[in-house]
Chains A and B, each alone.
Chain A
Amino acid sequence: MPPSIDSNDAARAHPEPQRPAAPPERVAMVGNPNVGKTSLFNRLCGVRAKTANFPGSTVEARVGACSIGGAELELVDLPGVYAVDLELPESKLCRDCLAGRLQGCMPDAILVVIDATNLARGLRLFRSVASAGRPLAVALTMTDLARTRGLSIDPVRLGERLGVPCVAANGRSGVGLPELVAAMRAAREPAPKILADALRPNWVDETATAIVGGPNTVGSETDRWTDRLDAAFTHPFLGSVVFLAAMALVFFAIFRLAEWPMDLIESTAGLVGGWIAAAMPEGAVSELLVDGVVGGVAGTVVFLPQICLLFFLLALLEDTGYLARAAFVMDRIMCRFGLPGQAFVPLLSSHACALPGIMSARLIPDPKDRLATILVAPFVSCSARVGVYVLLVSILFPDSGLLAGLAFAGCYALGAIAALLTALLFRRTILKGKSRPMVLELPPYRLPSLRSAFLTTYDRALVFLKNAGSVILAICIVMWWISAYPKAAAPEEALALEARAQAVAAEVESAPDAASAETLAAEAESLTAEAEVLSARAQQEFSYAGRLGDAFQPVFAPLGLDERLTVAVLTSFLAREVFRSTITVLVGSGDSDDDLRVAEEIAQAKRADGTPLFDMATSAALLVFFVLAMQCLPTLAVTRRETGSWKWPALQFVWMSAVAYLAAWVTRVAVIALGGAA
Chain B
Amino acid sequence: MATSDLSAEDLAVLGAMGLDANTAFTVCRAGRGGPCIIQLDATRLGLAPEIAARILTRPCSCADTEHCAAEGEPAASARREPDGGPTTR
Contact = CB atoms under 8 A, between A and B. Distances in A.
Query: Is the A/B pair a real complex?
Result: yes
Interface of A: 82-83, 85-88, 117-118, 120-121, 124-125, 145-146, 149, 216, 218-219, 223, 226-227, 230-231, 234, 236, 324-325, 327-328, 331-332, 335, 436-442, 444
A406 B26 CA distance: 49
Contact of A82 (B17, B28, B79): B17
14 contacts: A117-B43, A118-B43, A218-B79, A223-B39, A226-B44, A230-B29, A325-B46, A328-B35, A331-B48, A335-B48, A438-B46, A438-B51, A439-B48, A439-B51
B42 A124 contact: no
Contact of B10 (A335, A437, A441): A437
A149 B16 contact: no
B42 A437 contact: no
A609 to B, nearest CB: 60
Given A121-B18, A332-B35, A437-B51, A145 B45 contact: no
Given A227-B28, A230-B37, A441 B45 contact: yes
A121 B41 CA distance: 10
B80 A438 contact: no
A438 B41 contact: no
Given A117-B41, A230-B28, A442-B45, A332 B51 contact: no
Contacts of B2: none
A70 to B, nearest CB: 36
A86 B13 contact: yes
A142 to B, nearest CB: 9
Given A328-B37, A332-B35, A438-B51, A82 B42 contact: no
Would you list the 9 A-B pairs with minimal beta carbon distance, nearest first? A82-B16, A83-B16, A438-B48, A117-B42, A437-B48, A442-B44, A440-B46, A328-B46, A121-B18
Contact of B13 (A82, A117, A149, A332): A82
A86 B18 contact: no
B12 interface: yes
Contacts of B48: 331, 335, 437-439
A233 to B, nearest CB: 11
Looking at chain B's contact residues, is the secondary structure mostly helix, strand, loop, or mixed? mixed
A146 B43 CA distance: 12
Given A85-B12, A118-B42, A439-B51, 14 more contacts: A82-B16, A83-B15, A86-B9, A87-B12, A117-B42, A121-B43, A146-B42, A223-B39, A234-B37, A236-B34, A328-B37, A441-B17, A441-B43, A442-B45
A118 B35 contact: no
B16 A86 contact: yes
A124 B16 contact: yes
A335 B15 CA distance: 24
A437 B16 contact: no
Nearest to A205: B69
Nearest to A204: B18
B5 interface: no
Contacts of B14: 439
Contacts of A82: 13, 16-17
Contacts of A149: 42
Contact of B18 (A120, A218, A226, A227): A120
Contact of A87 (B9, B17, B29): B9
Interface in B5-57: 9-10, 12-18, 26, 28-29, 34-35, 37, 39, 41-48, 50-51
Contacts of B66: 216
B46 to A, nearest CB: 4
Nearest to A209: B66
Nearest to A340: B48
Contacts of B12: 83, 85-87
B67 to A, nearest CB: 11
Contacts of A436: 13
A234 B30 CA distance: 11
A218 B41 contact: yes
Most chain A CB neighbours (cut-off 10 Å) among B12, B35, B51, B82: B35
B29 to A, nearest CB: 6
Given A118-B43, A234-B29, A234-B37, A439 B17 contact: yes
Contact of B42 (A145, A230, A439): A145
Contacts of A226: 44
B82 to A, nearest CB: 5
Contacts of B17: 82, 121, 439, 441
B35 A438 contact: yes
Contacts of A335: 48
A120 B26 CA distance: 17
B86 to A, nearest CB: 16
A86 B42 CA distance: 23
A332 B51 CA distance: 13
Contacts of B42: 117-118, 145-146, 149, 218, 444
Contacts of B43: 117-118, 121, 441
Most chain A CB neighbours (cut-off 10 Å) among B28, B42, B46, B47: B42
Nearest to B42: A117
Contacts of B18: 118, 120-121, 124
Contact of B46 (A88, A145, A236, A324): A324
